[in-house]
């Protein structure tokens, strides 16, 4: 009888996010990480705006706290994320220089970061959320696309591959299950990367009542058929997708529906072939720390632990999915 998520999940890593401040504070946060998880992701401190705040000046201090903690406790680290339009420092948004200089700057950034973390960070999201949600799902017109062209994603993967041939490289995006057209666009993008890419990160920001198991399965099937690794990343399951502003607690009915969805996600992940497995990562320990509270601005309880670090039915659902 397994006593933790990581012991129960014998064929893949169980991931969690953290912050340097949570690690420095210790207590129940770090106890929970050590007890339950074996793969760590930085919630926002290994993004470009934190790691590369001004030209020529890198800051890996917060990421290093996370990486050191992981190493001391036998956990892998998943690097998230080198390039993301939402975490680009303003000096990069307003880059003063030619397009060629911009591209050299991006190559230096990726190379410096991967070399700093060589042997310590096992995998990286190279590009996060490159695709638009709208019709046809074209590439977002980010500063990277504007200055490096439509093949900027491929260039970034090549820079990463050159910097560290051993690190596992992912493309990460959201709505892979809920939007079949975005899923198709994502697989087209991935196909264009050839063997520069090792895996697909499917952000699992979902709800207790959707997307369907069939649509989640389609993400797994598309990834497996391409012989890529699959990361079910950023899992959280909204219990209040109706966005009722007045709901004051998680009802038993909703807690159980959420449990069933956790179980379903884990079941689908657990059933993929071993070679395609990587990790299933949940985006937050306690309900009250979830980014979704700010993002949607309504009450919710999307995670596996309540605000007192008690295991919720969702936690049991994860175990039952194995
Ligand atoms: C979020 C973090 O949770 C927040 O703390 C931060 O302020 C913004 O980013 N998709 C992603 C994640 O890929 O990096 C985002 O994380 C959530 C959406």
What ipTM was estimated for this complex? 0.99
Ligand 1 pocket mutation pick from 22, 41, 43 by most atoms within 8 angstroms of CB: 43
Entry pTM: 0.98
CA atoms within 13 A on the CB side of 12: 25
Closest CA to 213 of 150, 267, 289, 143: 267
Q: Among residues of the chain, what percentage have pLDDT more than 90?
A: 99
- Mean pLDDT value across the chain: 98
Per-residue confidence (pLDDT) for residue 3, from 0 to 100: 86
Q: Which two tokens stand for residue 128?
A: 């996060």
- Asked if residue 43 has its Cβ within 6 Å of ligand 1, the reply is yes
* 316, burial (CB in 10 Å: exposed 0-12, middle 13-18, buried 19+): middle
Residue 1, pLDDT above cutoff 60: no
Bridge partners of 199?
170, 229
Q: What is the pLDDT of residues 50-76, one digit of tens each?
A: 999 999 999 999 999 999 999 999 999
> How many angstroms separate the alpha carbon of residue 47 from the centre of ligand 1?
10
- Asked if residue 291 has its Cβ within 6 Å of ligand 1, the reply is yes
With beta carbons less than 8 A apart as the criterion, state whether 307 and 40 touch. no
Contacts of 68 by beta carbon, 8 Å cutoff, 6+ apart: none
Catalytic choice (234, 264, 307, 320): 234
Q: Which atom of ligand 1 is closest in space to residue 174's alpha carbon?
A: 10
Q: What is the pLDDT of residues 253-268, one digit of tens each?
A: 999 999 999 999 999 9
* Domains recognised in the chain with CATH numbers: 5-320 (3.20.20.80)
**234 catalytic residue (yes or no):** yes
Residue with CA nearest ligand 1 atom 7: 44
Q: Which atom of ligand 1 is closest in space to residue 128's alpha carbon?
A: 13
> How many angstroms separate the alpha carbon of residue 283 from the centre of ligand 1?
9
Q: Which two tokens stand for residue 135?
A: 């019709």
Ligand 1 pocket mutation pick from 48, 231, 291, 296 by most atoms within 8 angstroms of CB: 291
Per-residue confidence (pLDDT) for residue 2, from 0 to 100: 65
Bridge partners of 124?
79, 169
> How many angstroms separate the alpha carbon of residue 16 from the centre of ligand 1?
13
- Asked if residue 281 has its Cβ within 6 Å of ligand 1, the reply is no
Give the mean pLDDT of 177-203. Answer: 98
Per-residue confidence (pLDDT) for residue 225, from 0 to 100: 98
Q: What is the pLDDT of residues 14-26, one digit of tens each?
A: 999 999 999 999 9
**43 catalytic residue (yes or no):** no
């Amino acid at each position: 009888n397994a006593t933790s998520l990581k012991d129960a999940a014998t064929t893949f890593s169980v991931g969690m996010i953290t912050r340097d401040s949570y690690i420095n504070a210790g207590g129940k946060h770090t106890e929970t990480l050590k007890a339950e998880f074996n793969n760590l992701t930085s919630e926002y401190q290994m993004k470009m705006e934190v790691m590369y705040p001004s030209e020529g000046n890198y800051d890996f201090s917060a990421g290093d706290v996370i990486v050191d903690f992981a190493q001391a406790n036998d956990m892998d680290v998943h690097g998230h994320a080198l390039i993301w339009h939402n975490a680009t420092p303003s000096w990069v948004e307003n880059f003063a220089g030619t397009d060629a200089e911009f591209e050299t700057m991006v190559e230096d950034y990726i190379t410096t970061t991967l070399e700093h973390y060589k042997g310590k960070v096992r995998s990286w999201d190279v590009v996060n959320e490159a695709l638009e949600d709208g019709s046809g799902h074209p590439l977002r017109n980010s500063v990277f696309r504007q200055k490096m062209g439509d093949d900027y994603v491929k260039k970034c993967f090549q820079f990463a591959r050159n910097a560290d041939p051993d690190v596992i490289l992912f493309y990460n995006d959201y709505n892979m299950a809920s939007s079949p057209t975005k899923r198709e666009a994502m697989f087209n993008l991935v196909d264009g990367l050839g063997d520069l890419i090792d895996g697909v990160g499917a952000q699992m920001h979902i709800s207790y009542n959707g997307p369907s198991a069939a649509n989640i399965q389609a993400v797994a099937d598309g990834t497996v058929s391409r012989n890529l690794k699959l990361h079910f990343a950023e899992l959280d399951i909204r219990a209040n997708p109706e966005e009722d502003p007045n709901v004051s607690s998680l009802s038993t009915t909703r807690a159980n529906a959420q449990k069933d969805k956790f179980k379903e996600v884990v079941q689908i992940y657990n059933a993929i072939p071993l070679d395609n497995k990587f990790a299933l990562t949940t985006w937050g320990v306690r309900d009250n720390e979830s980014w979704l509270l700010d993002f949607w601005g309504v009450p919710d309880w999307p995670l596996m632990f309540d605000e007192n670090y008690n295991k919720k039915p969702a936690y049991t659902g994860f175990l039952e999915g194995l």
